[in-house]
Structure formats: structure tokens, C-alpha cells
């Protein structure tokens, strides 16, 4: 491909759909408690999984997505679930994965058979798994309901720390193996100076939810990291009965902590909780958080969202507002390589599933649905044909390829027949009716053929374009 000159700073204005919704970044599943991690030029975001229709956090599995450009997110499926931990029985809550020396340590928390919460760790050689429970038992188990929301960080001197907590905040020094610890578990003292507010002894969560008296306290969801020699502890605090994101800083990894204020508060979130993670990627800083704003969502149907922000000169974090537009691309998609159908900037009327043979694929595709892929770089020569791997257990449908918007120029259409099964895959090649050039948004639009509206049409595994010779 002849390289098109890209000025990423103006990419957003080149792409006509840039003002369309980008948050929540995943539309196919609920994805609470996002924990971002950077590895080899990609951002991985590890999330929980809220179950639609429940009225509590009865969560059973954890998901992974990744992106090289911050807008197109590839679904890597469900590498771990409660079943991966023989000691876990319910409430697979917030987690974080960190890399050390080429191994990936995914710290999770779950309810044990003793009816308390404990922290465990799964390990893998790859950021997307397979992961295996490293210990066959919890790493942190003190019989407390405060053993939730682990966050790990490996400091420049090689010492790793694990923080966690709900109401009470704890840390421990991890050994180099990342699956054991040295020394005692330490509870971090809380004061107005360190975390902005203080729970009165005996003060119930119900009273706290009413939100009087003390505006901000450490509630849960710590996120521990270091930037420019300063240690940051972001966490879910409280504003008038709804969680906000607040932060404290320290000159050492173990405090004393100094309260710095709220980062995200008073937003139209539709969720009682918030839970976040912060990263620097390709020259920008990003806050990941969750909302209940996906259709059908709420406090128990939460989804990952992301905003870009700039640290102030003194390292302080500004107030960050939730947006529908999210962030602009920091890279482009190469259409001439194999691209997974489950790489999406936005989608409607479809979801994803996985099996051993195909891996993750797009399924439950219905008329009126679509997948949007942003900032696809066709280059100066452009594309002349399109191919897609598809399967249909019933009568199939039409996969239209459109540029720039849902109603934009249709450059190709694949007539998908009944292939013999939902996992009986065929690759279809079709010429483009007109060339695709430059950086464009691509829409894969799903249509039925004079058949019952609402019926499942076909499954979609991967796609690519072919460049003009």
C-alpha cells in the first residue's frame, strides 16, 4: 500500500462521522470496571460482565478488548470466568491485569465458599490468554468483604504493589513472582486530608448514599500508578449518594496520601457506581470509566467509556466530563490485511460469541444492524475488491459495504446464501462498484432478503479489501 500522509491531529475533521457516538466503546456486551493496560503499541482493556436483567452485581466472567487507535476495539472474548477459580462461587467483580517480564497477571476478586470476598490471580503468556489460576486458591483472603477491586503496579525499582479495598483501603508488597507477597497487609489510614472525607464509625452505606455531611470518602475501586515521580491513587468517592472519581497523590508508593479532589462528578451517568483506570498512550492521557448509558443499561448494566484529558503542569488532573463522542483516532486501520469482524468502533443489532474453532465472531446479526470501523486507510491506489468470511444456518442476507455513513456510498454487497450451518464458513469475494480511496469510515450494513424481519441473518468472522494493482 502506498502510504497516505496522515496528520492524525486533523483526522477527526476528515472523517465525516467523527461527531457520532463513540461512548460506550463496547456495545455488544456490558463491560463494567474497565482496567486499561498498554502492551506493544496496543491498549488492552480488561472488564467485568454485567448480566442484563439482574438487580445486583451477580457477575460471572471477565472480558478483554484491545485497540491500536483508541476507537476500533477488538473483542478477545472471555478468557476467565468464575469457573476458572475453584474457590470462587459468585460476584466476579473488578479486576486489573498487569504485565511483568512478558507474563500477564490478572488480579480478580470474587466471593468464596465462605461467603466473603477474596482476591486471586490468573497468569498467562499473552495479554488475551489462555489464563490459568496461578495458585488454585486466593492470594488475599482475610475473611473480609473489603477484599475487592485489586490494582497492581510495578515500580521503577522492581517492587510491585497491590492495593485494594471497599471502605477500608489496603496494600501489600508483591514478590517478584507477582503471585505471592512479603510482609504484612497494611491498612491505609484515612482522613479528610488523605481522601477528602471520613466515614463516621458505624455510619451505614445507606446513610452515605443520602450524601449529606461528608461529600467525599474512599468508597472502592482504587487505581494505583506513578507518573513523573508522583504516585496517584484514583478511586471511587461519593457525591450526593452517587459514586464519583476522586484522587490522592503521594511522593512514595505507600503514602502518606494527600487528597487532590474530584476528577469526574455530577455527570448524567445512569449508574450508582463509577470505576476507572488511567493510561498514557501515543502522547495522550486517557480516563477509562463506566456508565449505565448503553440502551438497556443502568446500575447493573454498565459499560466502558473513555475520555482524553491533559494533566495540568503541576501533574494535577482536571475535571473530566462524560461525552458521547469519546476520543479521536490515534491511528488508522489497514484494510488490506485480515481484519476481525469483531473489531468495531460502533455496532447495532449484533453481538459476539466465541468457540474453539473460530475464536470470537460476530453473531445475532439482524436487519437494520451494522458495524462501523473508523479511519480505514485505503491509500492513494485504493481498493478494488472486498472479501468476507460468513456463515448462515438459515436463509442468509446481504452484507452491504458503505463508506463514511450508514447511508453513504455503497461500494459492495455480498449476497450471503445458506451455507449449511452457523459455523459453516465460506469466504465471499466481490468487486467494488467504485474505488475506495484515502481515509474513510467503513460501515458493514446488514439487510434481509424479503424475509421475516428480525430473523438472524448470518455470522461474520473476518474481512479484507484488495488493493488496486
Site for ligand FUB in 390-449 (CB under 6 A): none
C-alpha cell at 110: 470474587
Q: In degrees rounded to 5, what are phi and psi of residue 208? A: -60, -40
Decide the pairing of beta strands 160-166 and 151-154: antiparallel
**Residue 422 beta carbon to ligand FUB: minimum distance, rounded to whole angstroms:** 32
Among 148, 350, 360, 436, interactor with ligand FUB by CB under 6 A: 148
* C-alpha to C-alpha distance for 8 and 149, rounded to whole angstroms: 36
Q: What is the DSSP letter of 140?
A: B
Would you count residue 93 as binding ligand FUB (CB under 6 A)? yes
Q: What is the DSSP letter of 381?
A: T
In the chain, DSSP finds a helix count (H) and a strand count (E) of 3, 32
Nearer to ligand FUB, 120 or 369 (CB): 120
Q: Is 394 exposed, middle or buried (0-12, 13-18, 19+ CB in 10 A)?
A: middle
Would you count residue 33 as binding ligand FUB (CB under 6 A)? yes
Among 149, 342, 441, 456, interactor with ligand FUB by CB under 6 A: 149
Would you count residue 196 as binding ligand FUB (CB under 6 A)? no
Nearer to ligand FUB, 84 or 299 (CB): 299
What residues contact residue 169 under an 8 Å CB cut-off, 6+ apart?
163, 187, 188, 190, 195, 218, 222, 235
Q: What's 292-352 look like in SS3?
A: CCCCCCECCECEEEEEEECCCCCCCCCCCCCCCCCCCCCCCECCCCCEECCEECEEECCEE
Nearest C-alpha neighbor of 205 from the set 263, 273, 267: 273
**Residue 360 beta carbon to ligand FUB: minimum distance, rounded to whole angstroms:** 23
**Residue 273 beta carbon to ligand FUB: minimum distance, rounded to whole angstroms:** 4
Given a contact cutoff of 8 angstroms between Cβ atoms, the answer to whether 402 and 408 are in contact is yes
Would you count residue 363 as binding ligand FUB (CB under 6 A)? no
Nearer to ligand FUB, 142 or 426 (CB): 142
Given a contact cutoff of 8 angstroms between Cβ atoms, the answer to whether 134 and 152 are in contact is no
One-character DSSP codes across 54-87: -SS----EEEEEEESSSSSEEE---SEEGGGSTT
Among 49, 216, 220, 456, interactor with ligand FUB by CB under 6 A: 220
* C-alpha to C-alpha distance for 340 and 348, rounded to whole angstroms: 17
Site string for ligand FUB, 257-296 (x = CB under 6 A): ----------------x-x---------------------
Angle at 270 between CA 115 and CA 276, to 5 degrees: 65
Nearer to ligand FUB, 25 or 383 (CB): 25
* C-alpha to C-alpha distance for 198 and 217, rounded to whole angstroms: 6
Q: Is 10 exposed, middle or buried (0-12, 13-18, 19+ CB in 10 A)?
A: exposed
Site for ligand FUB in 108-137 (CB under 6 A): none
Nearer to ligand FUB, 303 or 367 (CB): 303
Nearer to ligand FUB, 290 or 402 (CB): 290
**Residue 442 beta carbon to ligand FUB: minimum distance, rounded to whole angstroms:** 34
**Residue 52 beta carbon to ligand FUB: minimum distance, rounded to whole angstroms:** 14
Nearer to ligand FUB, 33 or 75 (CB): 33
Nearer to ligand FUB, 115 or 426 (CB): 115
- Rg (Cα) of the chain, in Å, rounded? 23
Q: Count residues binding ligand FUB (CB under 6 A).
A: 12
List 401's β-bridge partners, or say none: 412, 444
Nearer to ligand FUB, 145 or 435 (CB): 145
**Residue 80 beta carbon to ligand FUB: minimum distance, rounded to whole angstroms:** 15
**Residue 106 beta carbon to ligand FUB: minimum distance, rounded to whole angstroms:** 15
Nearer to ligand FUB, 221 or 448 (CB): 221
**Residue 269 beta carbon to ligand FUB: minimum distance, rounded to whole angstroms:** 12
**Position of minimal CB gap to ligand FUB:** 93
Site string for ligand FUB, 225-264 (x = CB under 6 A): ----------------------------------------
**Residue 397 beta carbon to ligand FUB: minimum distance, rounded to whole angstroms:** 36
Would you count residue 94 as binding ligand FUB (CB under 6 A)? yes
Given a contact cutoff of 8 angstroms between Cβ atoms, the answer to whether 40 and 16 are in contact is no
Among 30, 57, 232, 247, interactor with ligand FUB by CB under 6 A: 57
| Sole residue written with cell 483516532 | 329
The residues that touch ligand FUB, with contacts defined as CB under 6 A, are 32-33, 48, 57, 93-94, 148-149, 220-221, 273, 275
Amino acid at each position: 500500500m502506498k502510504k497516505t500522509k496522515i496528520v492524525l491531529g486533523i483526522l477527526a475533521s476528515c472523517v465525516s462521522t467523527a461527531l457520532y457516538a463513540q461512548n460506550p466503546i463496547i456495545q455488544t456486551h456490558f463491560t463494567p470496571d474497565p482496567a486499561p493496560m498498554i502492551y506493544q503499541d496496543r491498549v488492552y482493556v480488561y472488564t467485568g460482565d454485567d448480566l442484563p436483567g439482574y438487580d445486583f452485581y451477580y457477575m460471572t466472567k471477565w472480558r478483554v478488548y484491545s485497540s491500536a487507535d483508541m476507537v476500533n476495539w477488538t473483542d478477545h472474548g472471555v478468557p476467565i470466568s468464575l469457573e476458572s477459580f475453584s474457590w470462587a462461587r459468585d460476584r466476579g467483580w473488578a479486576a486489573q491485569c498487569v504485565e511483568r517480564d512478558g507474563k500477564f497477571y490478572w488480579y480478580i476478586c470474587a466471593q468464596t465458599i465462605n461467603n466473603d470476598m477474596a482476591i486471586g490471580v490468573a497468569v498467562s503468556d499473552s495479554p488475551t490468554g489462555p489464563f490459568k489460576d496461578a495458585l488454585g486458591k486466593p492470594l488475599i483472603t482475610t475473611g473480609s468483604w473489603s477484599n475487592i477491586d485489586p490494582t497492581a503496579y510495578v515500580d521503577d525499582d522492581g517492587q510491585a504493589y497491590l492495593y485494594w479495598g471497599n471502605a477500608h483501603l489496603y496494600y501489600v508488597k508483591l514478590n517478584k513472582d507477582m503471585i505471592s507477597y512479603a510482609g504484612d497487609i497494611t491498612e491505609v489510614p484515612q482522613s479528610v486530608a488523605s481522601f477528602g472525607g471520613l466515614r463516621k464509625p458505624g455510619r451505614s452505606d445507606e446513610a452515605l448514599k443520602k450524601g449529606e455531611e461528608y461529600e467525599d470518602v474512599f468508597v472502592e475501586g482504587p487505581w494505583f500508578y506513578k507518573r513523573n515521580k508522583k504516585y496517584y491513587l484514583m478511586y471511587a468517592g461519593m457525591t450526593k449518594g452517587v459514586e464519583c472519581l476522586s484522587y490522592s497523590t503521594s511522593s512514595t508508593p505507600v503514602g502518606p496520601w494527600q487528597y487532590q479532589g474530584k476528577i469526574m462528578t455530577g455527570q448524567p451517568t445512569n449508574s450508582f457506581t463509577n470505576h476507572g483506570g488511567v493510561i498514557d498512550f501515543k502522547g495522550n492521557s486517557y480516563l477509562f470509566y463506566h456508565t449505565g448509558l448503553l440502551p438497556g443499561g443502568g446500575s447493573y448494566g454498565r459499560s466502558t467509556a473513555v475520555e482524553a484529558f491533559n494533566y495540568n503542569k503541576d501533574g494535577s488532573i482536571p475535571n473530566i466530563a462524560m461525552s458521547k463522542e469519546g476520543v479521536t483516532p490515534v491511528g488508522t486501520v489497514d484494510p488490506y490485511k485480515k481484519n476481525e469482524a469483531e473489531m468495531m468502533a460502533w455496532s447495532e443489532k449484533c453481538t459476539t460469541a466465541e468457540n474453539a474453532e473460530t475464536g470470537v465472531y460476530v453473531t445475532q446479526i439482524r436487519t437494520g444492524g451494522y458495524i462501523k470501523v473508523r479511519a480505514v486507510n485505503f491509500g492513494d491506489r485504493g481498493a478494488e475488491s472486498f472479501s468476507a468470511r460468513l456463515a448462515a444456518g438459515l436463509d442468509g442476507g446481504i452484507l452491504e459495504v458503505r463508506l463514511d455513513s450508514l447511508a453513504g456510498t455503497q461500494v459492495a454487497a455480498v449476497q450471503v446464501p445458506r451455507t449449511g450451518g452457523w459455523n459453516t464458513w465460506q469466504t465471499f469475494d466481490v468487486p467494488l462498484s467504485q474505488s475506495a480511496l484515502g481515509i474513510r469510515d467503513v460501515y458493514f450494513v446488514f439487510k434481509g432478503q424479503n424475509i421475516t424481519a428480525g430473523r438472524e441473518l448470518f455470522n461474520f468472522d473476518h474481512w479484507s479489501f484488495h488493493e488496486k494493482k
